[in-house]
Structure 1
Amino acid sequence: MFKNIFLAIIIFSLASCAKEPLPKPSGELRLEYPAHKYQTLVQNSPFSFEYSTSAKIFNGKKTFWYYVNYPNMKAKIFITYFPIKNDFNEHLKEAEKLVYEHTIKASSIDTKTFSYPEKKVYGNFYELNGESASNIQFYVTDSTRNFVTANLYFNSRPRPDSLAPAVDYIKKDMLHMIETFKWK
C-alpha cells in the first residue's frame, strides 16, 4: 500500500510538471473600409471639389467653411476659405504656422508641393507622422484671389499605429480633393 501511494505521488508530480497555460495574446482589429467613391461639393462657394461618399459635409462657423465628417472613423477634415485682399503672405504664413505647431509631437513632417496651372490650383500637402494631433494638412490657392486650408483631425488620442489605416484611407480622399479642386 505504501508502494502504491509512493507511485501515485510520483505520477502526479510528473503530470504536474507541464508548463503553465498562458492566455492567448489579444488579436488586432482588422479594419476594412469601403471602396473609394466620390461626389462633388454642391454649395454656392467660390470653389468645388470631390469628396468621399463615406463622408458627410456640414457648413462650418464662417461662410464657405466646411466640415467633411467621417462618422465611422471619428474623423473630420476642417476646410477653411479666405478671400485674398493683398494679404496672401499672411495666409501662407498662417497655414504653415498651423502645420509647424505640431513639431512638438510630430516625428516628421513630409511636404509635397503641387501645381495644376491649367486650373490655377497651387499649394502644399503636409503629412505629419508621429503623435501629432493633426495627421494631414494642405492649402490650395490661386495665388491672387482665393486661399483654402484643410486639416484632418480624429476625435481620439493620437496613436499612430492604431490610426494608420484610417489616416491612409482619408489621405487618398484628401489627395483626390486636391486633384479635383476647381475655382468657380
Structure 2
Amino acid sequence: MKGYLILILLTLIMGCGNKSTVYYPKPKGFERIDLPKQEYQALQGKYPYTFEYSKSAIITPDKTIEAEPYWILVEYPTLNAKIQFTYKPLNGDLTKLDKHVADAYKLASKHQVRATAQREQVVQLKNGKKAVIIEIDGEVPSHFQFYATDTAKHFLRGAVYLNAATLNDSLTPIVDYLKADSRRILETLKWNK
C-alpha cells in the first residue's frame, strides 16, 4: 500500500511539473480609438484670420464669459477634444503684443502643477510665418499650445484640450492627431484685412 501511495504521489508531482502552459492575469485594456481621416477644409465666416481644419471637426463660437469677438472652438466630437482659439487685434501697439505673449506663457504655465516637462520652440512654417509652440507632458488637460502673430495687426493663440479623465498613455494617439491638425492650421493660417 505504501508503494502504491508513493507511485500516485510521484505521478502527481510529475504532472504538476509541466511548464508548457503559463497563465497570466488579463491586463487592463484601453478604449479603442478610431482616429478620423485627416482631410481638411477652409474656415468659413467673417474672421480676421483663416486656416484649414479637419473635416471631422465642428467650428463653434466660444461662449465662455471672457470670450471676445472671433474666439472660436474647433471641436472634435468623436475624440472628445477641442482646440480653443483666442484672437486679439493689435492695431500696431507693441505693448499689446507683449501683454498677449506674456498671457500665452502664463496660461501654459498653469499646467506646471501636473506637468512633467514643458518644451517651447519657435518654428518656421512652410508658409513663411513663424509660430511659437508649447508642448506640455504629464497628466494635463492641454498638451499642445501655440500662438502666431504678424506683430502689427493680429495675434492668435490656440490650445488643444482633451475632455477625458483617462491616463495619457491611452490618449497619445489623440494628442498626436491633434498636434498634426494644429500644425496644419498653422501652416495654412492667413490674416484677413
Q: TM-score band, normalised by the shorter chain?
A: 0.7 to 0.9
AA matched with 2:99 = E
Correspondence 1:69 to 2:92: no
Give the 5 Å matches for 1:104-183: 104-115=113-124, 121-157=129-165, 159-183=167-191
Whole-angstrom distance in 2 between the partners of 1:112 and 1:37? 26
Whole-angstrom distance in 1 between the partners of 2:77 and 2:2? 73
Whole-angstrom distance in 2 between the partners of 1:123 and 1:7? 79
**SS of corresponding position for 2:36:** coil
**SS of corresponding position for 1:134:** coil
Q: How many percent of aligned residue pairs carry the same amino acid?
A: 32
Whole-angstrom distance in 2 between the partners of 1:160 and 1:10? 51
Whole-angstrom distance in 2 between the partners of 1:118 and 1:107? 32
AA matched with 1:41 = L
Map Cα deviations across residues 143-167 of structure 1 (whole Å, 9 max, x no partner): 1122111111111236331111111
Whole-angstrom distance in 2 between the partners of 1:151 and 1:36? 19
Contact 1:132 1:158 in 2 (8 A): no
Correspondence 1:48 to 2:56: no
Unpaired stretches in structure 1, ≥5 consecutive residues = none
**SS of corresponding position for 1:100:** helix
The TM-score, its normalising length taken from structure 2, stands at 0.80
Unpaired stretches in structure 2, ≥5 consecutive residues = none
AA matched with 1:65 = W
Structure 1 position 97, deviation (Å) = 0.8
Map Cα deviations across residues 80-122 of structure 1 (whole Å, 9 max, x no partner): 1111253221111101111122222222222221356977x44
The TM-score, its normalising length taken from structure 1, stands at 0.84
Correspondence 1:97 to 2:98: no
Whole-angstrom distance in 2 between the partners of 1:105 and 1:158? 14
**SS of corresponding position for 2:118:** strand
Tell me the residue number matched to 2:11.
11
